[in-house]
Amino acid sequence: MHIRASSSWFSRPVSDWVGPRLFAALVLALCLGLTYGAWRNADDASEQQVQADFDFRVRELVGSIAGRMQTYIQVLHGVQGLYASSHDVTRSEFHAYLAVQQVERHFPGIHGIGYLPLLPGTERARHEAQVRAQGYPDYAIRPPGQRAWHAPITYLEPLSDSNLLAFGYDLWSESVRRAALERARDTGQAAMTGKIRLVQDAGSGDAYGFLVVLPVYEHGLPHASVEQRRAALRAWVFAPFRMGDLMAGVGGEASRQLDLEIYDGAQVTEAALMYDSLPGSQPAGASAALASQQSISIAGHAWTLRVRAMPGFDGELLARPLAVAWTGVLVSLALALAAWLLAASRARAQVALARASELAGQLEQGQASVLAMATAAQRSQAMLRNILDSTIDGILVDNIAGRIFTSNRRFRDLWQVPDALDWQADGEALVRHVASQLEQAAPFLVARAHAPHGHRERRDVLHLRDGRVIEQYVRSMQLGNEQARLWTFRDISERSQMERREHTRRQVLEMLATGAPLERVLESVVLSVQADHPAMLCSILLLDEQRHRLVLGAAPGLPAFFNLSSHGHDLDALQGVHGIAAQALRGGQRVIVADLHADAQAQGTMELAWRAQLQSCWAEPVRGGSGKLLGVLMAYHRQPALPSAAHLARLGEAAHLAGMAIEQAQVALALRAGEARFRSLYDHAPVALWEQDWSAVRAALDILEQKDVGDLAAWLQAHPEELKALAGKVRIIDANGAALAQVRATDEDQRRGALSLAQNFDDPALPRFGDALLALARGAHLYECESSFVRLDGAARQNELSLLVMPGHADSLDFIMVSSFDITERKRMNAELLQLATTDFLTGLPNRRQFMAALENEHARLQRELASCASVLMLDIDHFKRVNDDHGHAVGDAVLRHLGALMCQALRKVDVPGRVGGEEFAILLPGTDLGAAAVFAERLRRRVAESSLTTDGGILITITVSIGMAAMAGTDADCDAVLARADEALYRAKRGGRNRIEQNDGGSDGVLSKFMAQ
């Protein structure tokens, strides 16, 4: 019995020992272990193969770029050889040579090949004249301005439309291009610029390129060293490259799976990025391991290349380990499943019936629970829908991705969503429907793109095309596991309209109460309407006194030609769009034209509307309080449109305010008629009279007094900006004819408020205004002073002023009467006398007396500041007597003026030149030691020697100067000592051969430079 039991136990399968699940798990673990080993070996082999393939393609790509650039540089060497083989290559020869090369066909990426001569600044005009004579009348060196050297693009082939944009551009004027030119000049090799925008691509915002230049040296001149190359430089040949064209096709088919970025220099920064084969951020899925950064040097300039493998790079190799892994997993699962099925088949057969009974009972309970939950969910959803539909606000719920979950009935009514719009299937259709109703859709679209975070909310105000205003709120909310947004829309059109109307009404009433000009009041009315409806342009046209013509009242947003076409014309003569205004005035009724160009017969009469880009027009009559027609308010749209109720209400309110303003202006005109007689006496007074309102200034002073500002003078000195603010508060009430004539103003200028305190006190004279303010505020009734003012034509003048407090206003300082007298001519005559006393009449330089005064002032400064320095130069024209003897004194005077002009061109603002003798000149250089003075003197000596003077008789005269220098010190007894030292150095220069510079530093003699005239 025992033996049979033992034999039966050993005969049981392994699945009975450990159980079906543990047995299947052991089989699965064994198979998965074998699968992992196979996958690991395959993955290592694939990664090594992929890395090797990537490194090879990177080297191949870098080599292709370097090889292509070397080929292009050889093309430039060919053009360099063309100039090396010829003393003068003409434009036609240059064109013929490059036409044979067919650069654009054989060398893609080169935008052209050009020639840059090196020109001194003095040769600019001659060079431009030569190129214009070759058939380019508009040729000019750009950018304009005088520079020491120029390198303009003179030849450029092919001379296409884009290359014409660069024709004449001065590469020397721009630092990056100039650095490449200088490097090519000094090395004799090709040089490449950094990252630039080609002149041909001036209108392209993201196109970058570079230039490669080669120097061209003069024939027969050595250029072994840097100094020899600089001296022998004749010109450059260059080629512009656009990065996108250059990189097209580089690397072949294999490069399409690589993301290539090229950076200028060694830094990998956004500012240095020159080329990106895949613009934008790093492509999703790009391998971070398969990336390489290479540095190459082309034409002496470094590039940094960053290469990344794109998704799918060598996908077949990478797919092999995955196939091995999946195959092993599937086989392992199959074997484990088979083992589990075999082991568990017997146990499942035994418990199947009991388990089936148990599951049937649980299923019945689950069905009952689900049915109850569905009923509750339907009831809750119906209650939520009823609540949403009964709210006064429009509700919309969507997620961050823009998928719309739900909306209530108020939202659909508010935005007039048609029933046919299936927004649940296409949420973008609902967004487009909402955006199409907005005058400015940006707030709605920005709120949709940038949802608020946390418990924050975003508020915006939306303006609809039909005149409604809607308040928009956006809040974040959580719907289960998904982040959502709750949109709330409320119609605030009525409240917004009431606020705007009240604001406009209050503003107009304030302007009427303060006596503002009618033009300003009407313009305020028009601007308020346009602010409410940005898509609308408005104007107000008035009837003249005879009620037969239209006069422009205000039209700030319409073109000038459109306004002038209606101003001053008879009602019967007006046609087209202006005929609508005449129709509204003749009928006294509102006129609405929804489409100005709908009628084909009206096309000719609507030409003005076409030119002004107007599509619809609404005319609202303007009436006074008695119902009398005073004008018409015109509203225009750039699209065909019909007015809504909100539009009509707003236009009616604006027309009512305009009628009040016009009647107020007419009343004021009647009052002014009673003052005409007094006005005539006032206007014809021979003295310039100004009536000024200082009430705002008095109110500001009262506020300062309340702030315990006791010392007004000290406060104004500590706050100089407040003085200008106080001056701006002064209002010119009236000015008589003499005052208007004094400032070159007209009655029209006075009526439109063009006169201000600047016609009595301009900005430099504000301290005088402050003195007058202090005197009048302390109780003075009269204050007199000298000041400066600005005429309306912009001329600055000087005057004498008398400020008189108006009788009855001595305590309040409200009104001031100012009389002014223009003393500019008297001041000018005094200045001319001073100029004659201090200036040399022939050269315009300071004379000896004025120069000595400046010298004494500088000597006094050096005595106070012993650490400072200064230098004095004495100049003498070499052989000047020969010029007078050979050509006459008139030519000699011209030579003196010529030298004076050359001196002034080289000086700083602080330097003082002077003519101290017949042909002797002197220059004071404050703050300059002898070393810096020597550099300045040599530059001046060369400028004089290289320039020439052509007289009226066609005589070409070239002069040289001898210069003596001496340092000025505060220890000198007087200023004559430095003149004596400089004069002694000058005579040494003249004895030493002239056209040279010598200095007298109190020690041994030393010649700074010696350039004998040939």
Q: What is the mean pLDDT of residues 997-1008?
A: 65
Q: CB-based burial of residue 604 (10 Å sphere; 0-12 exposed, 13-18 middle, 19+ buried)? A: exposed
113 - beta bridge partners? Answer: 157
Q: How many whole angstroms separate alpha carbon 571 and alpha carbon 776?
A: 54
**Taking all residues of the chain, what is their mean pLDDT, rounded to a whole number?**
82
Which pLDDT tens digit goes with each residue over 283-315?
A: 555 566 678 888 998 888 999 988 888 776 666
How much is the pLDDT for 7?
A: 43
Q: How many whole angstroms separate alpha carbon 48 and alpha carbon 54?
A: 10
Q: What is the mean pLDDT of residues 60-68?
A: 84
**Residue type for 646, please?**
A
How much is the pLDDT for 16?
A: 56
Which pLDDT tens digit goes with each residue over 119-162?
A: 998 889 899 899 998 888 888 998 988 888 999 999 888 887 77
Which pLDDT tens digit goes with each residue over 884-894?
A: 888 888 888 88
Angle, CA 565 vertex, CA 594 and CA 746 arms, to 5°: 135
Question: What is the DSSP secondary-structure string of 168-181?
Answer: TBBGGGSHHHHHHH
Quote the percentage of the chain above a pLDDT of 70.
88
Judged against a pLDDT cut of 80, whether residue 380 lies above it is answered with no
* Preceding omega of 143 cis (within 30 degrees of 0): yes
Q: How many whole angstroms separate alpha carbon 935 and alpha carbon 942?
A: 11
Give Cα separations from 520 to 7, 168, 511, 554, 657 (angstroms). Answer: 119, 50, 8, 8, 13
Quote the percentage of the chain above a pLDDT of 90.
14
- HSE toward the beta carbon, residue 662, CA cutoff 13 A: 30
Q: How many whole angstroms separate alpha carbon 697 and alpha carbon 981?
A: 61
Q: How many whole angstroms separate alpha carbon 423 and alpha carbon 432?
A: 11
For residue 316, name the pLDDT band (cuts at 50, 70, 90): low
Q: Which two tokens stand for residue 455?
A: 């418990």
Alpha-carbon dihedral 182, 183, 184, 186, rounded to 10 degrees:
80
Q: According to the per-residue pLDDT averaged within each range, which of 278-282, 380-384, 635-639 is highest?
A: 635-639
**Which among 313, 247, 260 has a CA at the least distance from the CA of 286?**
313
Q: How many whole angstroms separate alpha carbon 400 and alpha carbon 857?
A: 76
Query: In this predicted structure, which of 215-229, 487-501, 613-627 has the lowest mean pLDDT?
Result: 487-501
Judged against a pLDDT cut of 90, whether residue 812 lies above it is answered with no
How much is the pLDDT for 182?
A: 92
More confident call, 33 vs 87? 33
How much is the pLDDT for 922?
A: 93
How much is the pLDDT for 628?
A: 85
Q: Which two tokens stand for residue 892?
A: 């000699």
Query: In this predicted structure, which of 16-20, 772-776, 962-966, 972-976 has the lowest mean pLDDT?
Result: 16-20
Secondary structure (H, E, C), 432-482: HHHHHCECCCHHHHHHHHCCCCCCCEEEEEEEECCCCEEEEEEEEEEECCE
For residue 482, name the pLDDT band (cuts at 50, 70, 90): confident
Which residues lie below 8 Å from residue 353, measured CB to CB, with a gap of 6+?
Answer: none
Which residues lie below 8 Å from residue 687, measured CB to CB, with a gap of 6+?
Answer: 738, 819, 821
Which residues lie below 8 Å from residue 778, measured CB to CB, with a gap of 6+?
Answer: none
How much is the pLDDT for 621?
A: 92
Q: Which two tokens stand for residue 218?
A: 């003069």
For residue 702, name the pLDDT band (cuts at 50, 70, 90): confident
Q: Cβ(39)–Cβ(359) under 8 Å?
A: no
* Preceding omega of 559 cis (within 30 degrees of 0): no
Alpha-carbon dihedral 893, 895, 897, 901, rounded to 10 degrees:
180
Q: What is the mean pLDDT of residues 323-331?
A: 82
Strands (E), 791-867: 796-805, 815-822
Q: How many whole angstroms separate alpha carbon 521 and alpha carbon 515?
A: 10
For residue 281, name the pLDDT band (cuts at 50, 70, 90): low
Q: Which two tokens stand for residue 720?
A: 């100089």
Query: In this predicted structure, which of 20-29, 671-680, 892-901, 923-932 has the lowest mean pLDDT?
Result: 671-680
What per-residue string of b and e applies to 155-187 under the rule 16 or more CB within 10 Å gives b? bbbebeebbebbbbbbbbbbeebbebbebbbbe
How much is the pLDDT for 997?
A: 94
Q: Under the phi-then-psi rule, with left for phi > 0, alpha for psi from -120 to 50, and beta for the rest, what region is 472?
A: beta
Give Cα separations from 402 to 414, 421, 431, 449 (angstroms). Answer: 20, 16, 9, 9
For residue 921, name the pLDDT band (cuts at 50, 70, 90): very high
Which pLDDT tens digit goes with each residue over 813-863?
A: 788 889 888 888 877 877 777 777 678 878 888 988 889 999 999 899 988
Strands (E), 853-990: 870-877, 912-915, 920-926, 949-950, 956-957, 961-968
Maximum Cα interatomic distance, the chain, rounded to a whole number of Å? 158
* Residue 698: how many other CB atoms lie within 10 Å: 18
Which pLDDT tens digit goes with each residue over 210-248?
A: 999 999 998 888 888 989 899 889 899 999 988 888 887
Phi, psi of 257 (to 5 degrees): -95, 10
Judged against a pLDDT cut of 80, whether residue 797 lies above it is answered with yes
Judged against a pLDDT cut of 80, whether residue 466 lies above it is answered with no
Judged against a pLDDT cut of 60, whether residue 761 lies above it is answered with yes
Helices (H), 11-145: 14-18, 20-84, 91-101, 103-106, 124-133
Q: CB-based burial of residue 778 (10 Å sphere; 0-12 exposed, 13-18 middle, 19+ buried)? A: exposed
Judged against a pLDDT cut of 50, whether residue 1007 lies above it is answered with no
Judged against a pLDDT cut of 50, whether residue 5 lies above it is answered with no
Q: According to the per-residue pLDDT averaged within each range, which of 392-396, 421-425, 667-671, 697-701 is highest?
A: 697-701
Q: How many whole angstroms separate alpha carbon 566 and alpha carbon 543?
A: 11
How much is the pLDDT for 193?
A: 92
pTM comes to 0.35
More confident call, 358 vs 263? 263
For residue 519, name the pLDDT band (cuts at 50, 70, 90): confident
Q: How many whole angstroms separate alpha carbon 1014 and alpha carbon 1012?
A: 6
Judged against a pLDDT cut of 70, whether residue 278 lies above it is answered with yes
DSSP state of 570: E
**Residue type for 577, please?**
V
The side-by-side arrangement of strands in the sheet containing 233-242 is 155-157, 113-117, 233-242, 209-217, 191-192
H/E element holding 306?
strand 301-309
Q: Under the phi-then-psi rule, with left for phi > 0, alpha for psi from -120 to 50, and beta for the rest, what region is 5?
A: alpha
Judged against a pLDDT cut of 50, whether residue 1012 lies above it is answered with no
DSSP state of 918: S
For residue 2, name the pLDDT band (cuts at 50, 70, 90): very low
* Residue 768: how many other CB atoms lie within 10 Å: 18
Q: What is the mean pLDDT of residues 355-376?
A: 74
How much is the pLDDT for 9?
A: 47
Which pLDDT tens digit goes with each residue over 403-452?
A: 888 888 888 888 888 877 777 677 788 888 888 888 888 888 888 877 77
**Which among 768, 698, 704, 705 has a CA at the least distance from the CA of 731?**
698
Q: Cβ(788)–Cβ(824) under 8 Å?
A: no
Q: CB-based burial of residue 291 (10 Å sphere; 0-12 exposed, 13-18 middle, 19+ buried)? A: middle
Judged against a pLDDT cut of 70, whether residue 643 lies above it is answered with yes
Q: Which of 128, 620, 653, 919 is catalytic?
A: 919
Q: How many whole angstroms separate alpha carbon 276 and alpha carbon 263?
A: 9
Q: Which two tokens stand for residue 446?
A: 């920005």
How much is the pLDDT for 865?
A: 87
Question: What is the DSSP secondary-structure string of 857-882?
Answer: HHHHHHHH-TT--EEEEEEEETTHHH
How much is the pLDDT for 117?
A: 93
570 - beta bridge partners? Answer: 549
**Which among 893, 937, 889, 932 has a CA at the least distance from the CA of 913?**
937
Q: Helices 20-84 and 315-390 meet at what angle, rounded to 10?
A: 100
919 is catalytic: yes
